[in-house]
Amino acid sequence: MTRSIYFSEEHELLRTQIRRFIAKEVIPFGDQWEQDGRTPRDVLRKMGDLGFLGIQYSEEYGGAEMDVLASTLYAEELGRSTYGGFAITALVHTDMASPHLANAGSKAQLDKYMPDIIAGRKIAAVAVTEPDAGSDVAGLKTRAVKDRDHWILKGTKMFITNGVHGDIYFVAVKTDMEAKGSRGITIFIVEKGTPGFTVGRSLDKMGWRSSDTAELVFDNVRIHEENILGEVNKGFYAIMKNFQNERTVLGAQALGEAQKALELTLDYVKERKAFGGTLWDKQAIRQRLSQRQSEVAAGQQLLYHCAWLNANGEECVKEVSMVKAYCGELVNRVMYDCQQFHGGFGYMRESTIERMVRDARIQSIGGGATEVMLEEIAKRL
């Protein structure tokens, strides 16, 4: 394994531990999880036992107190598992949902929820997206009205990863109906089983089959004010704050997928015989794969530098947006070529590449569509 100037020995040890875990606990069982439509809870608990679910969190609650670079290599290794649904199940829990609690939670909230989250005893989800509001967070319609020391939530959330089997939901709702745009949004902690809160339906997806995705319905759900996360009407800023971490790890997941697909394809074309030699003997094929490997290597340097900036407290919204846009598009280009060079085998459902192609498609859509990311970059040029 090539050492990077960005990673310490501690980082590389973490990478090795994650890779071993995936080889033992994920690869042998991933196909069944794809059929089941979910990643089993016991796998997440095992990840918690090994410290993978609290990489950046305080030791007080069982975390490792490492940095964004550690989360980046964690996400990259999950991407290399070839099971995007498993990867996103874990990443939503560790880097998209629970950071809201870590960043804005009160001492009482942290004491109550964080130990179980880090241990994998309770699974977290974040509910922002709605049927008519995805990347446009300012367009939220789910609302909450204050009733003495409670708030009454009403509305619907859509495309929520860990939505079916989650335990703790960080839900963004409009609390000031007069406020314009992104103002007037508050995040509430909602526990599974709260009266009026139901899973509307489990959604059937093209890819990420081993993750559960749900429509959530809030029908006059009463939430005590002690479950407000952070400040009332300031939730938009909390969502924006975590986007840097979220989009970094999504870029890392995509690059891990791309690198693994190239490795699998190189192995295949060097063995596959055609026209009196191997596919690797064909100049067009080896040059195309060389081009894609060069692009992945460039993406890794952009990713690692972006994570380094974030870890050192530097402003990096432009770089994060570049990572998300570049890696989300690149992984799809890589998968197209890898499937092409696998020929008919790459089109069969039992093929690893076929699954990876389907899983990769969402990378340019979810967590900030490419077009939205490019606009963020443009604002800073």
* 168-174 and 124-127 beta bridge pairing: parallel
User: Which one of 34, 76, 246, 319 is the catalytic residue?
Assistant: 246
Which residues lie closer than 8 Å to 271 by C-beta, 6 or more apart? 278
CA distances from 171 to 79, 81, 97, 127, 197 (A): 27, 30, 10, 5, 11
Indicate if 246 belongs to the active site: yes
CA distances from 227 to 35, 294, 362 (A): 36, 48, 32
- Angle, in degrees to the nearest 10, between helices 107-119 and 41-49: 110
Angle at 78 between CA 257 and CA 262, to 5 degrees: 25
- Pick the closest to residue 266 from 238, 292, 236, 289 (CA basis): 289
Measured from the Cβ of residue 168, the count of other Cβ atoms closer than 10 Å reads 22
CA 363 to chain centre: 10
Give the whole-angstrom CA distance, residue 332 versus residue 373. Answer: 16
Give the whole-angstrom CA distance, residue 7 versus residue 304. Answer: 9
For residues 68, 71, 75, 78, the Cα torsion angle rounded to the nearest 10 degrees is 170
Give the whole-angstrom CA distance, residue 220 versus residue 218. Answer: 6
Radius of gyration from C-alpha coordinates of the chain: 21
- Angle, in degrees to the nearest 10, between helices 68-80 and 84-91: 160
The SS3 call for residue 233 is: coil
Helices marked H in 312-348: 317-342
Helices marked H in 201-279: 235-271
Catalytic machinery residues: 246
